[in-house]
Amino acid sequence: MYKDWESLKKDCSVCRKCGLCETRNNLVFGVGNEKAEVMFVGEGPGYNEDMQGEPFVGRGGQLLDKYLTHIGLDRHKNIYIANMVKCRPPENRDPSEEELNCCIDWLREQTRLIRPKIMVCLGRISAMRLISKDFRVTQQHGQFIEKGGILFMGTFHPAALLRNPNNKGLALEDFLALQEKIKKVCDHTYEV
Ligand code: URA
């Protein structure tokens, strides 16, 4: 169990627990406010993230930033963004069960230090792992579920929205529902 970010980041940065370390250019630890009340969790780095060492910096990330801005959130100010796996799976394939298992402790430690009130799962990979193993994004997106003192919500993965723009309206509704929830349960995300 880590007590400070420095040692957590240091140990994570040299992680060789699974084979993804062999092909990574950069480990993508996370970005944002380490005291955030709201945390977003994606799947794993893609090409751009692996090159830059920051989550969601490609086209999907630009779309995510649009939704965030729309509800007054900013990756550098009042939220934290991380992924289920910290290193890019080759060819952008889904991370394997083994890779997810190897990496989950890093996310656990991040969550322990941040102590978010709300966690938003971006896409099915994180929702199936963090909310319920049979989570269906198309049916359960936008619903808040309390688990261990944290409110979880799953929504569409930005890359899935780029592939299927028909769901962009539903995603917007999820972000608006998130905004309302933040206003109810968070103290400093929207400074008054
Ligand atoms: N997709 C993800 O799930 N995470 C990223 O950081 C980038 C793309």
Q: Strand, helix or coil at 147?
A: strand
Any domain includes 109: yes
Any domain includes 159: yes
Any domain includes 5: no
CB 41 within 8 A of CB 84: yes
Distance 187 CA to ligand 1 centre (A): 28
Arithmetic mean of pLDDT, 115-143: 98
Predicted pLDDT of residue 192: 60
Any domain includes 67: yes
Instruction: Tell me the pLDDT tens digit for each residue of 72-88.
Output: 999 999 999 999 999 99
Any domain includes 187: no
- Count the domains in the chain: 1
Which one of 83, 94, 99 would you pick to mutate in the ligand 1 pocket, going by the greatest count of ligand atoms within 8 A of its CB? 83
Residues 6+ apart with CB under 8 A from 30: 55, 80, 81, 82, 83, 110
Any domain includes 188: no
Whole domain around residue 176: which residue ranges?
11-182
Whose C-alpha lies nearest to ligand 1, atom 6?
Answer: 55
Task: Return d(Cα 158, Cα 65) in angstroms, integer.
Answer: 10
Instruction: Tell me the pLDDT tens digit for each residue of 10-41.
Output: 999 999 999 999 999 999 999 999 999 999 99
Predicted pLDDT of residue 169: 98
Other CB atoms within a 10 A radius of the CB of residue 95 amount to 22
Task: Return d(Cα 116, Cα 148) in angstroms, integer.
Answer: 11
Tokens of 75: 């990756």
| Nearest by Cα to 39 from 87, 88, 1, 78 | 78
What band does 48 get if pLDDT is binned at 50, 70 and 90? very high
> Has residue 189 got a pLDDT over 70?
yes
Any domain includes 100: yes
Atom of ligand 1 nearest to the CA of 42: 3
Distance 146 CA to ligand 1 centre (A): 24
Residue whose pair of structure tokens reads 């963004």 in the numeric block? 81
- Percent with pLDDT over 90 in the chain: 98
Q: Which CATH number goes with the domain that contains 40?
A: 3.40.470.10
Ligand 1 proximal residues by C-beta, below 6 Å: 42-46, 49, 55-56, 60, 83, 159
Atom of ligand 1 nearest to the CA of 157: 3
What band does 191 get if pLDDT is binned at 50, 70 and 90? confident
Any domain includes 6: no
pTM over 0.95: yes
Whose C-alpha lies nearest to ligand 1, atom 7?
Answer: 56
